[in-house]
Structure 1
Amino acid sequence: MRALTYDPKSPQGLRAEEVSPPEPGASQALVEVHATSLNFGEVAFMSEIRRPGEIPGWDAAGIVVRAAADGSGPKEGARVAGFAPNAAWAELRAVRTADLGVLPDAVDFESAAALPAAGVSALRAVRALGPLVGRRVLITGASGGVGRFAVQLAHRAGAHVIAAVGNAARGEGLRELGADEVVTRLDQVTSPVFGVLDNVGGAMLAEALALVERGGSLQSIGQASREPSTVDFERERRRASGRRIDIFVVGSDFGSDIEYLASLVARRELDPQIGWRGDWERAGEAAAALLGRRVSGKAVLTLRKQPR
């Protein structure tokens, strides 16, 4: 089968080649991939998390061509989207059935491929903040894949959403998704917030923590800045106790959350915000666009044309 593998000597670290198809475990379904998506984290840190020859990729959507041997999960022919820590950028993929969600007919594969890593991360991070009705929530890196899902989901949860972006152009469309305020600097946030969903890290994490009110929290989701964070905990202790920083980890068993998000997409209550589309042979181009901050939302690659 054809796949994109990690090759540190190739442009953007990706090389198209023929590889052996996967052999699913007992609790894995074999999925024919129709669309996949790229996430900033897996592209930016590829050299740190991949070995040469390994197939990268977290998200994919397609059709089950072999159901799991243990009888769990979707049956053959089911349209699904799923998450796994690798091997999405290939024609065939073996996925744990607990990490597969069955798709409504109204949701196309490209939209579905945008959901697993970014959508589920945003959903679970919003839940981790607690009840949000009438509370102020700051989302940094709001123009990215996780950020645009988080804006919509926090708005649905009843929050007053403050979207922080790198520049005004990156903030386009965020008010339509549910942001009540769009800022380009955190000193433009004039009142404390109950929660922060931080996708940027670096110095911005400490700035955002200083805005959190007593009883609130900051979820550290990502590090788009690719810079470490330094927090003066003594200063923060003097300012106010009763706040926390959580190192967010998305966890496992994605299936039910993928199905929930897909149901919202089917009802047009959630927009996957695909900012770049193309054939998977253009994966290097998509990766460069993500790293260059030229994609608002998700970058999605298509492997097979869907029947009309």
Structure 2
Amino acid sequence: MRALLVDRSAPGRLRLGTAPDPEPAPHQALVRVAATSLNYGEAAFGLDSAPDRTVLGWDAAGVVERAAADGSGPAVGTPVVTLMPAGAWAELRAVDTGLIGVAPAGADLAALATVPVAGLTALRALHRVGPLLGRTVLVTAATGGVGRYAVQLARAAGAYVIASTGAPEKNRELLERLGAHEVVGASGQASRPVDGVIELVGGPQLVEAYETLGEGGTLVAAGHIAGKGEDFPFGALFGDQQRHDRSLVTFFLLGCTGLGRDLGWLAHRVAAGELDPGITWRGSWDDAAQAVDALLAGRLHGKAVLTFDA
């Protein structure tokens, strides 16, 4: 099969080549990939650490070519959204049926390819905050792939949404269209204490965002693009009478159960136009190096999608 292979001597550390077709386990379906979306972690860390000729990629949408031998999962010909820790940057991938979401017939598979990491991370992070109706939620890095989904999902769930972005005036119209009630340049500018934070930056911004939590609030650390540690000043984690019982939590996406169900639910919302997938770069897999460079240079907000030619 054709695939994008890690090659540190090539532009963007990727080149088009061939790799052996995957051999699915009994609980896996073989999926012909139509599109994949890029994630910052793949570009920033995967390309540096993976051996040459590795096929990376978490997110892919496509069509089932061979159903799982154990009878689980969708039938041949079903359009699907898939998640695995590798293998998406190729024509074929073997996928655990528990990590497959069934997509609507005729849906734009390129748009659905944005769902797995970005959509699921946003959805599961909001689940960790708890019931959202009537609550206030702060989303940091709100113009990124996860952030855009988090803003939309929080608004749809009935939350008052505060979106934080490094360029608030430039991004105000976009974020308000996605559902933000407030757009701020830093977490500390939020107009009120919040019940939940979807924190997607890490480092000093996480520390600042934690201070916006009201009593009983929860910060979900779901992104670490700052590449820095979190240094809390002495006393920041004390419980006091005004803001006690605050929580800071993390989760690992592939350690969660029920992801196939959530993938399908998100795919249907995107296909129906109820969620904007936030695609800001779309091109052929021939242009993968260009997309990776834009992502790492911070020029690309939202999602980059590669479509694979038949």
Both structures adopt the same fold (TM-score exceeding 0.5): yes
Matching of residue 245 in structure 1 with residue 248 in structure 2: yes
Confirm or deny: 8 A CA contact 1:170 1:296 kept in the other structure: no
Q: Residues 133 and 237 of structure 1: is their aligned pair in 2 closer, same or farther, counting only changes over 3 Å?
A: same
> How far apart are 1:106 and its partner, in Å?
4.4
Residue identity in the other structure for 1:234:
G
1:120 alignment counterpart: 120
Confirm or deny: 8 A CA contact 1:133 1:159 kept in the other structure: yes
Confirm or deny: 8 A CA contact 2:108 2:271 kept in the other structure: no
- In the alignment, the residues of structure 1 paired with residue 124 and residue 187 of structure 2 have an alpha-carbon distance, to the nearest angstrom, of 24
1:135 alignment counterpart: 135
> How many equivalent residue pairs?
305
> How far apart are 1:225 and its partner, in Å?
1.6
> How far apart are 1:304 and its partner, in Å?
2.7
Confirm or deny: 8 A CA contact 1:218 1:246 kept in the other structure: yes
Residues 1-20 of structure 1: matches in 2 within 5 Å? 1-20=1-20
TM-score relative to the length of structure 2: 0.94
2:98 alignment counterpart: 98
> How far apart are 1:210 and its partner, in Å?
0.8
- In the alignment, the residues of structure 2 paired with residue 275 and residue 87 of structure 1 have an alpha-carbon distance, to the nearest angstrom, of 23
Q: Residues 178 and 106 of structure 1: is their aligned pair in 2 closer, same or farther, counting only changes over 3 Å?
A: farther
- In the alignment, the residues of structure 1 paired with residue 207 and residue 98 of structure 2 have an alpha-carbon distance, to the nearest angstrom, of 36
Residue identity in the other structure for 1:184:
G
1:215 alignment counterpart: 216
- In the alignment, the residues of structure 2 paired with residue 226 and residue 263 of structure 1 have an alpha-carbon distance, to the nearest angstrom, of 34
> How far apart are 1:206 and its partner, in Å?
0.2
Matching of residue 256 in structure 1 with residue 261 in structure 2: yes
1:25 alignment counterpart: 25
> How far apart are 1:135 and its partner, in Å?
1.3
What secondary structure is seen at the aligned counterpart in 1 of 2:154? helix
> How far apart are 1:41 and its partner, in Å?
1.9
Matching of residue 274 in structure 1 with residue 275 in structure 2: no
Residues 1-308 of structure 1: matches in 2 within 5 Å? 1-47=1-47, 49-168=49-168, 169-232=170-233, 234-237=235-238, 240-250=243-253, 251-252=255-256, 253-304=258-309
Long gaps (5+) in structure 2: none
- In the alignment, the residues of structure 2 paired with residue 25 and residue 170 of structure 1 have an alpha-carbon distance, to the nearest angstrom, of 45
Q: Residues 11 and 170 of structure 1: is their aligned pair in 2 closer, same or farther, counting only changes over 3 Å?
A: farther
> How far apart are 1:94 and its partner, in Å?
0.5
- In the alignment, the residues of structure 2 paired with residue 82 and residue 171 of structure 1 have an alpha-carbon distance, to the nearest angstrom, of 32
> How far apart are 1:224 and its partner, in Å?
1.7
What secondary structure is seen at the aligned counterpart in 2 of 1:32? strand
- In the alignment, the residues of structure 2 paired with residue 51 and residue 224 of structure 1 have an alpha-carbon distance, to the nearest angstrom, of 23
> How far apart are 1:3 and its partner, in Å?
0.7
> How far apart are 1:170 and its partner, in Å?
4.2
Residue identity in the other structure for 2:112:
A
Deviations 1:151-196 (A, max 9, x none): 0000011111011011132444110010001111223213211110
> How far apart are 1:12 and its partner, in Å?
2.3
Confirm or deny: 8 A CA contact 1:5 1:52 kept in the other structure: yes
Q: Sequence identity, in percent?
A: 48
What secondary structure is seen at the aligned counterpart in 2 of 1:287? helix
Long gaps (5+) in structure 1: none
CA RMSD of aligned residues (A): 1.6
> How far apart are 1:87 and its partner, in Å?
0.7
- In the alignment, the residues of structure 1 paired with residue 289 and residue 206 of structure 2 have an alpha-carbon distance, to the nearest angstrom, of 30
- In the alignment, the residues of structure 2 paired with residue 171 and residue 10 of structure 1 have an alpha-carbon distance, to the nearest angstrom, of 38
> How far apart are 1:273 and its partner, in Å?
1.2
Confirm or deny: 8 A CA contact 1:210 1:236 kept in the other structure: no
- In the alignment, the residues of structure 2 paired with residue 36 and residue 137 of structure 1 have an alpha-carbon distance, to the nearest angstrom, of 29
TM-score relative to the length of structure 1: 0.94
Confirm or deny: 8 A CA contact 2:188 2:209 kept in the other structure: no
